[in-house]
Amino acid sequence: MSADFLYGIEVVLNGLMAGVMYALVALGFVLIFKASGIFNFAQGVMALFAALTLVGIMEGQVPFAHIINATFGTELHHFGWEVPAILAITCTVGVMILFAWAVQRFLFRHLVGQEPIILFMATIGLAYFLEGMGDLMWGSDIKTLALGLPQGGSRWIEDATAGLGGDDFYGFFIDKLDMVATVVAIVLVAGLIAFSQYTKHGRAMRAVADDHQAALSVGISLNFIWILVWSLAGFVALVAGIMWGAKSGVQFSLSLIALKALPVLMLGGFTSIPGAIVGGLIIGVGEKLFEYLVGPMVGGATENWFAYVLALLFLVFRPQGLFGEKIIERV
Amino acid sequence: MKDNGESFVTEDGRTIGEVMLDLRDITLRFGGVEAIKSISFDIREGEIRAIIGPNGAGKSSMLNVISGFYIPQDGEVWFHGKKRAPLKPYQVARQGIARTFQNIALFEGMTVLDNIMTGRLNYTKSGLLAQAIWKGKAEREETENREKVERVIDFLEIQAIRKTPVGRLPYGLKKRVELARALAAEPKLLLLDEPMAGMNVEEKEDMSRFILDVNDEFGTTIALIEHDMGVVMDLSDRVVVMDYGKKIGDGTPDEVRNNQAVIDAYLGVAHED
């Protein structure tokens, strides 16, 4: 096999794993949109907030330390303990559930029956509120997420594959963190699917996603389901926050991963969980391959725009995405 | 008309029980429009109660008040001898009041079987964790739910379409699936909003038979809105007549048929000769 071909395979593999990371973010969007028709602009900030909270709890930071110190003239910063990762993750999940409840109680409960654009605007407000809240609670400096996840290229895979090509080929470079992310994403998606197929609340969730009125008439509380869905989206945001945070540090730019999820949603459709996965993979592989094959001819940096152009093409030719429900307007 | 309390026997020899649902001076307003003007009537255990009236009389609004979709500005709803606080639709459903809709509200993306299974959601007691931990109990529940659902499917003769996505079904069958979902919840009171609207004669006959059978076999109390007078007179034990938000008649089909106010408002055409 020629080295070029093998490099091509490596590009595809890395693309697939980058795609998994995109899919993780897109998944949160799909969950909320499907159940409530709300396009949640705050999904990216939720990932940031979850990651900030996780780091804060692990390092034993005092939440709202700045406000407390400014008000009472104290010098509090740390509790002086460190919380084990598992416990900290559990606490963060609790915080995200609390957040889901608050969003429902104080925001969307008052907006039932409003136009989608108004709900969308509300999530923009929510995004900025949550961003400020994250700053206020945990401070605005860049943090590292020390969960002990493996980092860097896998030597083992590199050595094992080095012999495949000629002298020009040094073996596949696969990031260990990407591999972990892939496994986590698979478990997460399998869990979500099992939940929605086999549990009472999962079924109720599907029912609400399908028809609100009918759901009410069989005794499903929309309010409860929406809190549940936002909690799940919060959990997905936490997972995305952990993976992206471990990759590039926990900082404000983390919230911008939401922008990368948009083209994924255009491709996969806003209402399909498998669509989010496949859309993420296509974007991941597409942009890496495009950069590898076409990038050198146009001066590189195609990864910045490739996903959006692809999404634009989809909007023109298949607006409902690959798996989305076809929009048919009866006259 | 009999007073509250004791049961009685109708003209065609059917025993009607005590008052199950009692509506007292219900008034419902949408802004300045009064959709329901101080209406009172009751629904007794085991009966088939029809609500009739011309278009816009407020019949559907009345059903929506009973099922909690609308909260009346005035008046009281008494259920099983207790005054009911304003409830959300899902809370009403959990009390054992199931309903169907005029414009059919089904889960279009699910199969017929899954749709009917949603009617059993409130009988699934095991919560999230329990379902993961005590697999045995959850499985027993699932089996029981499936048996109930299968019985309803047999009863309404929709075995052939059980795996079909509801979105692909013709109108008449959708109506039947919606009824099946309501029945799966084993309701004490079943509310049917125009169960035969848009059906042909044959479908109407089928639906009438099902409604009678449900009442007969499961002992379900039924309140229904219907336009087809022939159907109403055949099916119902007692009839409430509404016009412009007011109650203009209440009684057995015969009493209502001979009520001058009803004839003027509703059957006027038939009386013209």
Residue B171's CB is within 10 A of a number of other CB atoms, namely: 12
Contacts of B109 in chain A (CB under 8 A): 210, 325
The residue among B202, B250, B271 whose CA lies nearest residue B50 is: B250
Domain count, chain B: 2
Measured in angstroms, the CA of A204 and the nearest CA of chain B are apart by 7
| In chain A, where the domains are located | 27-255
Ordered mean pLDDT values, 10 residues apiece, chain A (331 residues)? 80 89 89 88 94 93 88 84 91 96 93 88 95 90 82 78 70 84 90 85 89 92 93 94 87 84 88 88 93 88 89 87 67 58
Residues B23 and B71 in one domain: yes
- Residue B128 is predicted with a pLDDT of 60
Residues B174 and B219 in one domain: no
DSSP state of B46: T
Domain boundary among B186, B215, B244: B186
The percentage of chain B sitting over the pLDDT mark of 70, rounded to a whole number, equals: 90
Q: Where are the beta strands (DSSP E) in chain B?
A: 8-9, 15-16, 19-30, 33-44, 48-52, 74-79, 82-84, 97-99, 189-193, 221-225, 238-243, 246-251
Domain boundary among B167, B186, B205: B186
CB A86 within 8 A of CB A279: no
Measured in angstroms, the CA of B267 and the nearest CA of chain A are apart by 33
Comparing alpha-carbon positions, the chain A residue that sits nearest to B94 is A219
- Residue A273 is predicted with a pLDDT of 86
Contacts of B90 in chain A (CB under 8 A): 215-216, 219-222
Q: Residue B116: in which H helix or E strand, if any?
A: helix B112-118
pTM of the model: 0.86
Contacts of A206 in chain B (CB under 8 A): 107, 110
B123 versus B95: the higher-pLDDT residue is: B95
Report CA-CA distances (Å) from A178 to A161, A173, A185, A247.
18, 11, 10, 9
* Structure confidence by residue, pLDDT tens digits, A116-130: 899 999 999 999 999
Residues B80 and B194 in one domain: yes
Q: Which residues of B108-144 are buried (b: 16+ CB within 10 A; e: fewer)?
A: bbbbbbbbbbbbbbbebebeeebbeeeeeebeebbee
Residues B62 and B146 in one domain: no
CA atoms within 13 A on the CB side of B239: 26
Q: Is residue B209 part of a domain?
A: yes
Q: Is residue B104 part of a domain?
A: no
Q: Is residue B180 part of a domain?
A: yes
- Residue A209 is predicted with a pLDDT of 87
The residue among B50, B27, B23, B77 whose CA lies nearest residue B212 is: B50
Residues B156 and B129 in one domain: yes
Task: Report, as an integer, the average pLDDT of B187-216.
Answer: 92
Residues B139 and B248 in one domain: no
Cβ within 8 Å, pair A220-B105: no
Task: Report, as an integer, the average pLDDT of B165-190.
Answer: 93
Residues B128 and B197 in one domain: no
Chosen from A34, A218, A226 to mutate, greatest number of chain B CBs within 10 A: A218
Question: Given the DSSP bridges, would you call strands B19-30 and B74-79 parallel, antiparallel or unpaired?
Answer: antiparallel
What residues have CB less than 8 Å from B253, skipping those under 6 apart? Answer: B232, B233, B236, B238, B239
Cβ within 8 Å, pair B118-A203: yes
B229 pLDDT band (50/70/90 cuts)?
confident
Q: Is residue B142 part of a domain?
A: yes
Measured in angstroms, the CA of A155 and the nearest CA of chain B are apart by 39
Any CB–CB contact under 8 A between B9 and chain A? no
Residues B140 and B220 in one domain: no
Cβ within 8 Å, pair A217-B117: no
- Residue B60 is predicted with a pLDDT of 93
The range of the structural domain enclosing residue B241 comes to 1-96+187-273
- Residue A324 is predicted with a pLDDT of 67
Flag whether pLDDT at B2 surpasses 50: no
Q: Is residue B102 part of a domain?
A: no
DSSP state of B268: G
Residues B80 and B196 in one domain: yes
B187 pLDDT band (50/70/90 cuts)?
very high
- Interface A–B counts its CB contacts (< 8 A) at 78
Over chain B, what is the mean pLDDT?
A: 88
